[in-house]
Amino acid sequence: MSDEEMRKAWQEHPMLKPRIGKVVVNISVGKSGEPLEKATKVLKELTNQTPSKRKAKSTIRDFGIRQGEPIACIVTLRKQQAVEFLKKVLPVVDNKLSRGCFDKHGNFAFGIKEHIELPGVKYDPEIGIFGMDICVAMNRAGYRVKDRRRRKSKIGSKHLLTPEEAITFVKDTLGVEIA
């Protein structure tokens, strides 16, 4: 199906139009203590939300990581806040994403090497520089039936999101170029 045919189908059937379900921003420091607190502070400044800390799943002696030790912080953004964050972050990667960033369900992810590249963020020598991973979950209206607690149900194969549809949606709404 071409881009024009997809857009026409979305106009005729609004339930088929993709949308951004959530954006997860992750800073993995690899150790607890002061570096993790600094990363948490950076994430709070960027997203205006309190980050949640994530613990190590297993012990890795070579890196000095123990199981259960907090080593990362994440924030989940939804609805308009997610779209605004993406519009702020995508210019850092020159509004270009690789086709390989998209999985078979239309979700995509990309990384930023330095948080100071974001507009409006200044370098603070006390905090340092952190990189981050940004994962975007795409879905359609009606996807809630597979995640809800009561009366879970499967989503029909015709209603599943394809990478081509997600790419067309991202090009239209966020102005991203796909290489």
Give all strands of the β-sheet with 70-77 in edge-to-edge order: 52-55, 70-77, 18-28, 132-140, 108-112
Could you read off the pLDDT of 108-141 as tens digits, one per residue? 999 999 888 888 888 888 888 999 999 999 999 9
SS3 call for 23:
strand
The single residue listed with the structure tokens 């989940």 is 76
Question: Which CATH fold topology does 17-178 show?
Answer: 50s Ribosomal Protein L5; Chain: A, (3.30.1440)
Gap between the Cα atoms of 143 and 21, Å rounded: 10
For position 32, what pLDDT does the model report? 82
Predicted pLDDT at 64: 81
Tens of pLDDT, residue by residue over 46-59, are 999 999 999 988 88
Structure tokens, 121:
């963020």
- Confidence class for position 145, pLDDT limits 50, 70, 90: very high
Indicate the domain borders of the chain. Answer: 17-178
Q: CB neighbours of 15 closer than 8 A, spacing ≥ 6?
A: 140, 141, 142, 159
pLDDT tens readout for residues 14-34: 999 999 999 999 999 888 889
The pLDDT, as a whole number, for residue 118 is 87
* Largest CA-CA distance found in the chain, in angstroms, rounded: 57
